A and B are shown apart, each in its own frame.
Chain A
Amino acid sequence: MVRTYALLAWTWTRAAAAYRGSFALMVLLGFVVAAVDVAVILVVFANTTALAGFTRDEVLLLYGAASLSFTLCDMLVGNLDRVSAHIKAGTFDTFLIRPIGAWVQLAADRFNPTRIGRIVQAVLVLGHAVTALGVGWDRGWMIAVMVATGMVIFGSLWTLAGALQFLLTDAPEVVNTFTYGGQQLTQYPLAVYSRELVLGVTYVLPLAFVNWQPGLYVLGRDDPFGTPEALRFLGPVAALVLALAAMAAWRQGVRHYRSTGS
């Protein structure tokens, strides 16, 4: 499965790299677009020293970690949101008759290596925050865990949203609300949001584990909403549960796929 994915991704990468100028420009533009979000954070902190009790570099750490897992995931499986187009056009049939899983093929379909620009941007922000805050290895190890956890959570969301398309057929906006909404939500410390919303993304849709809960551990802070200390370490468990749910949903979706017959 991994080998197939890598092979397909490499094919698309070579295709994209055929137009060098365009490739470089797209990488650069991705970087610039992503930088707008950071610019907004910097503008906000030009006016205040703390947002909901968090300093600029602390917010940048949370932003960088969430952004890194989101952009990595966006590059690796982001094309799953095109499933609705394939279902509508009836081209999903071709994915089913090939001898590898439809999920792998869809995730690698039109693999877009130019998104590397956004990933580089996230890495730079995260790197800046880690050095500015002087995060040591004793707590810094959690950053690697949270990026991996975040990737699994976002990937599961994409899969869940894709699975929903089998039911809704033509509603890619649903996907956007899930995935891009999740990205938007995790850009700032959850302390700025209302209690109900944060409880919802902690216990129902585990977006709080992308960067908030493990981030609190890295920063050595208490949760302003008073969730138990143990939650800081439960990210991988939440991600695993969500991934299993997403897998089941995807299977159900594919099983209920009805071709257009054309």
Chain B
Amino acid sequence: MFGVLRAYVLIALWQARPGLAGYDVADAVTFCFVTQALIGPMQLFGGGLTLPERIRSGDIALDLVRPAPLQLWTLAEDVGRAAYLFAVRSLPPMLLGAALFGIVVPADAGRWAAFAAGFALALVVSFAWRYLIALSVCWLQDDRGVAVLSLVLTTFFSGMMVPLHLFPGRLGDLATSLPWAAMVQLPTDLYLGKASVPETLALQAFWAAALMGFGALATRAVRHKVVIQGG
């Protein structure tokens, strides 16, 4: 429903400015429904992870003594959740968009492969970001403030609302190189075949590695903090 309304706004914009950002109207509509489909698996509105509650209740101590690294354990859980959300939250809007407006479907296998790789990397980036937000509870005690901050940054800078190519000048360049772009804008561009595949995947891989690295450091810090508090 929300995707349909957004599609009309984008159509109106592309009617006023055909060929904007290298998209035609069909691309813009496709962009709208692909990004709508990514909301579920990428958990763009935050949440998904049970960590904040577990940290507050102290159950996190149990998780830390388990013989599996906390970060990878949580990632595995999150990927499973994303697979489920992909089935129930991603396919219906795509089908609806295809039925109502008609969307672009990549014909060659290469583009599908690039999109699949970009989608997988986007999942890791999204998870790594939300993992960091979740762990911040250890220091802040409450996750509502950072959750809202994350919501604003993610919805605005991921390209979920309008393509990042529309952002004027420097802001646009900056936005497309930030981690949030790696969650939505970059995989969608791979789907549409509008970006160079190696460069896009490299940028996504960079953010995935960087954020996972920070996450690993934060996990170690948490371990010490929990030990100090006596578990």
Contacts and interface: CB of A to CB of B under 8 A. Distances in A.
Contact of B151 (A25, A33, A39): A33
Interface string A14-33: 00000000000110010011
A67 B78 CA distance: 35
A181 B156 contact: no
A192 B8 contact: yes
Interface stretch (A47-55, A80-88, A122-130, A245-253): A47-55
Given A43-B168, A181-B5, A36 B155 contact: yes
Given A40-B162, A47-B20, A33 B148 contact: yes
A44 B156 contact: no
Interface string B145-166: 1001101100110000110001
Contacts of B12: 51-52, 188, 191-192
B156 A48 contact: no
A184 B167 contact: no
B9 interface: yes
B155 A47 contact: no
Nearest to A194: B8
A39 to B, nearest CB: 6
Contacts of B16: 48, 50-52
Given A32-B148, A184-B2, A47 B17 contact: yes
Given A29-B148, A33-B151, A47 B5 contact: no
A188 B168 contact: no
A194 B155 CA distance: 26
A44 B1 contact: no
A204 interface: no
A44 B12 CA distance: 10
A46 interface: yes
A177 interface: yes
A22 to B, nearest CB: 8
Given A29-B145, A50-B16, A193-B5, 5 more contacts: A26-B144, A40-B161, A51-B9, A188-B8, A192-B8
28 contacts: A29-B148, A32-B148, A33-B152, A39-B156, A43-B162, A43-B166, A43-B167, A43-B168, A46-B166, A46-B168, A47-B17, A47-B20, A48-B16, A50-B16, A51-B16, A52-B12, A177-B1, A181-B1, A181-B2, A184-B5, A188-B8, A191-B12, A192-B8, A192-B9, A192-B12, A193-B8, A194-B8, A197-B8
Interface of B: 1-2, 5, 8-9, 11-13, 15-17, 20, 144-145, 148-149, 151-152, 155-156, 161-162, 166-168
